[in-house]
Amino acid sequence: MHQLAEKIQQQDMRALARAITLIENDDPEKLSLMSDIFSIQKKAHHIGITGSPGAGKSSLINRLLTHLRSKGLTVAVIAVDPTSPFSGGSLLGDRTRMNQHFMDPGIFIRSMATRGSLGGLARATKDAIRVCDAYGFDIVLVETVGVGQSELDIMKVVDTTGLVITPNSGDVLQIFKAGIMEIADLFIINKADLKGVGRLKATLEEYMMIAQPKGWHPLIVKTISTENKGMEEVWQGMERHRSYLYETNQGEKQRKQQLQLEVYDLIREEIWRDVKQHIEGNEAARTQLADPEADPYQLARSWYHAWKGDD
């Protein structure tokens, strides 16, 4: 077994941090490490928190952490932050908003940059979740960059998804985009002390009546994170959804779908890495790539077939 995997199994926090860094850097040892990690995962509850910027996701998670710790539960938080397309850097600001929990040995907080991932989720996020699971945390919380069409990636990596929305902010227009409504297992109306809460809740209920979801009917809870209100209702809603997954075949079906998507992603990643190395190691290909008049479709086709070894 990989040395880091052994230390993680022994709940070595430094080994946990080093493993995630290795994963983010796409180290050659990553696949062997993750294969060992997979064999010791402990089935934590994986929860995703998403929503528009400014909806109060980080503040809500901060309060939720305190609530969960009061119940004796251990929590890992993976905060996925946007990456600058110019510098490649990330603000990683969520850690500063949760700094009161840094000294708590029952909480682990790690920020990860999206590194250009369209879905607002780094490819390494799923691996980081699995490493935290193997460590033995009861809950792994994933906070995503924002909400939009590409944010559907969140449902590929977690068991339960909470969508944070606020009244009078235009969020209702976002959640009605195709697919966005369907990712939520729990609607969290934050800043519920503002006007328009009743109208927003009624709109959500009306949509669900029209959509007629099969199986799980998403719950709607109201919170005021700045006043620490509604955290128990949020947690109860998440627990109810997890119970639903285990008591029905939906949980098994969801895990099978996630496994299939993950395998495809890993294959795609390996192929892309190999093709990129093949192109960058070919002087003629580099010359073609530097030509602004080159036909990208023809280049892609010819390089792919050259990589495959086709005549």
Q: How many CB atoms lie within 10 A of CB 111?
A: 18
| Pairwise pLDDT comparison (237 vs 103), residue with the higher score | 237
Domain ranges of the chain: 1-40, 43-248, 261-308
pLDDT of residue 275: 87
pLDDT of residue 99: 66
Reported as a pLDDT band with limits 50, 70 and 90, residue 309 is confident
pLDDT at 85 over 60: no
Reported as a pLDDT band with limits 50, 70 and 90, residue 233 is very high
Q: How many CB atoms lie within 10 A of CB 160?
A: 23
pLDDT of residue 136: 95
Query: Mind listing the pLDDT tens digit for each residue in 11-37?
Result: 999 999 999 999 888 888 888 999 999
pLDDT at 129 over 80: yes
CB 56 within 8 A of CB 164: yes
Give the mean pLDDT of the chain.
Answer: 82
pLDDT at 91 over 60: no
pLDDT of residue 177: 58
Q: Is 255 left (phi over 0), alpha (psi -120 to 50) or beta?
A: alpha
pLDDT of residue 12: 95
Query: Mind listing the pLDDT tens digit for each residue in 183-222?
Result: 889 999 999 999 889 988 888 888 777 766 667 888 999 9
| Pairwise pLDDT comparison (178 vs 274), residue with the higher score | 274
* CA dist 101 → 131, 141, 247 (Å): 20, 14, 34
Report d(CA 219, CA 184) in Å as an integer: 9
pLDDT of residue 184: 86
Top CATH class, 43-248: alpha beta
pLDDT of residue 160: 94
Average pLDDT over residues 61-77: 95
Residue 41, judged by CB atoms within 10 A of its CB (0-12, 13-18, 19+), counts as middle
| Pairwise pLDDT comparison (269 vs 128), residue with the higher score | 128
* CA dist 166 → 88, 93, 98 (Å): 31, 21, 21
- Site of tokens 């708590």: 104
pLDDT of residue 259: 86
Give the global pTM.
0.84
pLDDT at 174 over 60: no
